[in-house]
A = this chain, B = another copy of it.
Amino acid sequence: MSNQKLFNVAVVGATGAVGEQIIRLLNERNFPINELKLLSSERSAGSVIKFKDREITVQAAKPESFEGVDIALFSAGGDVSKLLIPEAIQRGTVCIDNTSAYRMDPETPLVVPEVNIDKINEHKGVIANPNCSTIQMVAALKPLYDRYGIKSVIVSTYQAVSGAGAKAINEMLRQSKEILAGNEANPQILPVSSLPVKHQIAFNAIPQIDKFVDNGFTYEEMKMINETKKIMGDESIEVTATCVRIPVVYGHSESVYVELKSDFEMEEVRQLIADAPGIVLQDNTAEQVYPLATEAAGKLDTFVGRLRRDLNNPRALNMWIVSDNLLKGAAWNAVQIAEYIAIEAN
């Protein structure tokens, strides 16, 4: 360990909901850091963040910020990634991007370590972190894919407001208080901050996450469809998604119907999921044990339960998948990738 290489690391979007978790995980995991640069927009620059025994002042992200940086973790929105990742790559930085900017770029690996860590070495300067709702689903499906193959997936999501950022959390909590006090919800952020129509999220379910595509699906739904194929490395997997925002702070839940390519025994399915890396089986109906968003919040794993054979299709089964969308769905998956890069370099 004394000869362990130390890295100059930058976190772009350091003051955001995901950036905050990345910094916490780099600390808790004792990531081998020489210098840590915390970067943000001009507006958020100047704040001071404690990291181990250091106090680090957040700086406005600029192309020159990446001089001497080995690894940069981006979660400051797609526009920032598109602007600054080429600059960082030019300066020799390996970028891990949490936005959708590079995910479907054929040159960019889209990585969930439990599924396709082997792709990490194919990068040309940037490795993309998938969408939160996709990560937990593919992590849970991977052991079934390897053993049986997957023909199709039909997923309906129950997504937490933290997926839309700190402002959406505040909005949901504020609306809840207002309504409990007998006042109006007065929605201002959700479902999509850049679109004109706003809907109440407190005590409601909004079947829109991100903008709509011409085919009637949302971008969020198309991300689940397209990213699943890319991460699994199998364009033949048929995915149908309906993405819904519900009044939960942390933790996305997913109701998943999956049709396998071959026959299966439920006992083997249970064992495969229990043994899979990063997955915790929580499935005991007699004791009312199943994954819950409130219990997954703050944890790094993906939780799977409500496992049951479909009553109609002998090759299908149903499951309930829950994970903390800011951790495995974003910050932890990114830090996992950074850890693999660090190990490879040693």
Q: Is A122 an interface residue (CB 8 A)?
A: no
Q: Per a CB cutoff under 8 Å, which of B242, B286, B291 touches A212?
A: B286
B206 touches A292 (CB 8 A): yes
Residue A116 CB within 8 A of the other chain:
no
CA distance A287 to B196 in the complex (A): 9
The answer to whether B242 and A306 have CB atoms under 8 Å apart is: yes
- Bound complex: CA A244 to CA B254 (Å): 10
Cβ of A224 to closest chain B Cβ, rounded Å: 11
Q: Mark A184-198, 1 if CB is under 8 A from B, else 0.
A: 000000011001110
Neighbour of A207 across the interface among B205, B249, B305, CB < 8 A: B305
Q: Judging by beta carbons under 8 Å apart, are A208 and B311 in contact?
A: no
Number of interface residues of A (CB under 8 A): 60
Q: Does A199 count as interface, using CB distance less than 8 angstroms?
A: yes
Neighbouring B residues of A225 by C-beta, 8 Å: 311
Report whether A246 and B215 are in contact in the complex, using a CB–CB cutoff of 8 Å. no
In angstroms, Cα B13 to Cα A126, docked, is: 63
- Knowing A197-B288, A200-B294, A207-B320, the reply to whether A158 touches B217 (Cβ < 8 A) is no
* Residues of B close to A204: CB separation below 8 A: 248, 292-294
* Distance of A215 Cα from B310 Cα, bound (Å): 9
Give min CB distance, A248 to chain B, whole Å. Answer: 5
Partner of A208, one of B176, B203, B288, B316: B288
B contact residues around A320 at 8 Å (CB): 207, 242
Distance (whole angstroms) from the CB of A138 to the closest CB of chain B: 17
A41 touches B (CB below 8 Å): no
Cβ of A274 within 8 Å of any chain B Cβ, yes or no, is no
A240 to B293, CA, bound (A): 23
Task: Collect the chain B residues with CB atoms within 8 Å of residue A239's CB.
Answer: 312
A59: interface (CB < 8 Å): no
A239 to B208, CA, bound (A): 25
Q: List 11 A-B contacts (CB under 8 A).
A: A154-B154, A154-B257, A156-B242, A176-B180, A197-B288, A204-B294, A205-B292, A207-B255, A207-B320, A212-B285, A238-B313
* Contacts from A to B (Cβ < 8 Å): 152, 154, 156, 158, 173, 176-177, 180, 191-192, 195-197, 199-200, 203-208, 212, 215-217, 225, 238-240, 242, 244, 246-249, 253, 255, 257, 285-294, 305-313, 316, 318, 320
Q: Which 9 A-B pairs have the closest CB atoms?
A: A216-B308, A238-B312, A156-B156, A197-B288, A156-B255, A212-B285, A242-B255, A158-B205, A204-B294
